[in-house]
């Protein structure tokens, strides 16, 4: 049996959670969460951790050289570095509008990289 200690980030309360797993990696118990969201968070974090990604993308022909962007949904943690490589290679022509898709389905994750600001 192994255990993993986490701090729940699903709300500001930050409950300390312990996830217990058997020798095959199956989750046998989650404790320390104050509500069901903590249980869901802890199980996902242990089995397939994901993160939202925020960054900037180059802009051509605009008033500014970069535009802030984010992933439309969380992407697997192990793909964050490769996603940043793709974002660093990308560019978008001005004008840019909030919600413009800069990279569709980045790395086949189903998440789009979208602009989060306007650039004239």
Using CA atoms, how far residue 111 sits from 15, 70, 114, 119, in Å, is 29, 10, 9, 22
Instruction: Say whether residue 6 binds ligand SF4 (CB under 6 A).
Output: no
Indicate whether 44 belongs to the interface with ligand SF4 (CB under 6 A).
no
Q: How many residues bind ligand SF4 (CB under 6 A)?
A: 11
Task: By CB under 6 A, name the one of 5, 13, 51, 77 that touches ligand SF4.
Answer: 13
Among candidates 11, 62, 2, 1, which has minimal Cα distance to 38? 11
- The CA distance from 106 to 108, in Å, is 5
37 binds ligand SF4 (CB under 6 A): yes
Tokens standing for residue 9: 């980030």
Q: Is 11 in the site for ligand SF4 (CB under 6 A)?
A: yes
With binding defined as CB under 6 A, does residue 29 bind ligand SF4? no
Minimum CB distance to ligand SF4 smaller for 10 or for 111: 10
């Amino acid at each position: 049996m192994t255990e993993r200690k986490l701090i729940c980030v699903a709300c500001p309360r930050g409950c300390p959670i312990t996830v217990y797993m058997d020798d095959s990696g199956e989750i046998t118990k989650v404790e320390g969460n104050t509500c069901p969201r903590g249980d869901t968070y802890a199980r996902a974090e242990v089995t397939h951790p994901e993160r939202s990604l925020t960054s900037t993308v180059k802009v051509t022909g605009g008033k500014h050289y970069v535009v802030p962007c984010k992933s439309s949904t969380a992407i697997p943690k192990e793909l964050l570095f490769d996603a940043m490589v793709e974002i660093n290679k990308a560019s978008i022509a001005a004008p840019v509008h909030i919600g413009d898709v800069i990279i569709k389905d980045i790395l086949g994750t189903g998440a789009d990289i979208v602009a989060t600001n306007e650039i004239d």
